[in-house]
A and B are shown apart, each in its own frame.
Chain A
């Protein structure tokens, strides 16, 4: 009978052990002035807690403890880099992965004209979409222009060039009614006529990943162009299950690059 009591005590001990909390660490802070840069870009990370380390990758892979430990700012140079970072520490579950995508700026653009943004989210002047500033996930950052209607947009290149790709950076924050656009159409400009050279139709409703997002559209046009015209269609109706179901979504745009 004696050892049965022991068994009981053991069960009790196991249950009690299960009741102990093992907390997860929070993700590290990524610090940068913009995700766009002309030649090089320093990126810092921060996590002020003794006994922890930030591990990171620059190739898109999920960071593990075998990946490099962050010690000093990283200098990015490549055309496009995905930084992923996560914190590890004894006695805690590792943090979630935090990531950001960085881009070298594309062809020089002289001028941009677009539909007037909403007054509340009007960016920081007429060059907002080509000023090289973007990728800050706070919707109230002055890098964003917010729209509720179809956006018509014209870009004038510094000199005629063959444009192979358009890169748009948008914000998705579904709780704040901000969604990726439904459709983007790209036209090559000509005084007399416009030629459709690329489109992108997005499955906005099923994509629920919030944060800064990029849309890349490959163009099918062999000639050099001086002007690019775009039409960007916000999601017309918020989907079922959203508190604003049926109403139009917001579209937030902070930068456009041509390659």
Chain B
């Protein structure tokens, strides 16, 4: 081989190592059970780490233009905006050191974002490109908080009427409800021994699968459960998920998706997976987790089976039913994409 050819071919090889076409980067591993099975792609993100670094990847949402927005607590770019093929389209945000909760709301046709910053002890509403619209400070109105430090918000959910529900998931575990302008309405939850109490209220969402009875689904993560409330904060019921530290519920169609940060059987050892519940809130699939089974209506203890994820923190479901999984404390990994297997 002549030197020139050798150079040509070795540079081709190098190009292959740097840029993997999506079709080749896909793994053969299929995760999940029943009608919810996915092929995992751990190399979905094409972000250049030197230009678009991440720290913890906390949450992801899809906007009405089909773009995928990732929230990270890396203040060089708190928000990374991807297309569905993992290419970076845009990035913004340098003011959110504790960027954690990320909720998108369609406000009369316009996408707006709500960021929970657990270092600033604030909730910040922004436009889709990062212009600040509203800042919610710690909820003095409740009479429960003496200082901002007690308030460590982790998530918001926005009701169809614009009401804002904030989960103080690393603070005092209350859910605080505000109107669209940010005026305090009420609070509920908090710690205690009752069924309506919460321990690590890490996530919250609006569940409108039954359109006549929309409700709130709230994490009580250390109790391995979701707890349901009506939109006025009255406790309804508990969805037990033994063993699973469930992060925020994400609802699409008939299903509820949630990242499980880790499991009781192997705490703090990267034992996470992703769980999917059907319309009756029964577990039907665990991605990289144990095959779901029920005895007398109660699910068996759940645990990780495949070490595909370390500490998954959120699931985003796009308009084509693909999943994107963002992870906390997992070696600064970018999100994984999971495509449905039919």
Contacts and interface: CB of A to CB of B under 8 A. Distances in A.
Interface centre among B40, B305, B307 (most CB of A within 10 A): B305
Interface string B1-14: 10001001100110
A192 interface: no
Interface stretch (A20-28, A57-65, A150-158, A218-226): A20-28
B300 interface: yes
A42 interface: no
A16 interface: yes
Interface string A219-251: 000000000000000000000000000000000
B48 interface: no
A15 B29 contact: no
A92 B306 contact: yes
A50 B12 CA distance: 41
B339 to A, nearest CB: 14
A141 to B, nearest CB: 11
B307 A25 contact: yes
A19 B44 CA distance: 12
Contacts of A7: 9
B253 to A, nearest CB: 26
A11 B17 CA distance: 10
B291 to A, nearest CB: 4
Contact of A26 (B28, B264, B266, B293): B266
Nearest to B40: A21
Given A19-B43, A49-B291, A49-B305, A12 B12 contact: yes
Given A12-B12, A16-B20, A48-B291, A4 B5 contact: yes
B118 to A, nearest CB: 20
Contact of A24 (B1, B12, B267, B307): B307
A20 B9 contact: no
Contact of A11 (B9, B24, B308): B9
The B contact surface, by secondary structure, is loop
A48 B305 contact: yes
B265 interface: yes
B27 A26 contact: no
A23 B265 CA distance: 20
Interface in A1-41: 1, 4, 7-8, 11-12, 15-16, 19-21, 23-27, 29
A26 B304 contact: yes
Interface residues of A, number: 27
A91 interface: yes
B16 interface: yes
B145 interface: no
Contact of A8 (B13, B25, B264, B267): B13
Interface in B28-73: 28-29, 40, 42-43
Contacts of A47: 290, 305
Interface in B292-309: 293, 300-301, 303-308
Contacts of B304: 26
B42 A21 contact: yes
A74 interface: no
A26 B306 contact: yes
Contacts of A16: 16, 20, 24-25
Contacts of A52: 305
